Amino acid sequence: MTEPLLQPLSESQTKTIVPTDVARFVRLGQCERFLRFRLHERAHGTGFMGEYGVRAQRIPALFPRSGQEFEDRIEGEAAERGRTVSFRDAAKTGGWTDINAEIVQLARSLPAGESVLLFQPRVSADVDGWRIRGRSTCCGWRATMMAGWAC
């Protein structure tokens, strides 16, 4: 049996990477094999693993119940002090949907001197052929008197 090869990543195709991939790459001692497989999986799916007789193993959730309770408490305390918007429930849905447009709309509608904390917003941006996406734990915005925003 000939060994299947991973196809090269296309130079013209946008490649996707998320902060969790980078963190695992570093945690694994900058394992190039992990990063190469992860980039290939993001570009082509997990189907290639079947050719090797293996299947992807699901990674357990990072935050168990105690983490959920901590996040609930922090969001509650923040809401007592000012305006908050939580996107945590939206983050639990399947697939990936960024909320870039919603964040821009929130920022544009924020009156001068007002602020808002966003919890778990999903954001993405394309930078030099790389799609960088992720979920921020908390992002704060404050509208300034000069018609600008401060993070």
Domain ranges within the chain, ordered by starting residue? 15-52, 65-150
Max Cα-Cα span within the chain: 69
pLDDT tens, residue by residue, 17-45: 888 888 888 888 888 888 888 888 888 77
How much is the pLDDT for 76?
A: 92
Q: Which residue has the tokens 């992860």?
A: 38
- Given a cut of 60, whether residue 82 has pLDDT beyond it is yes
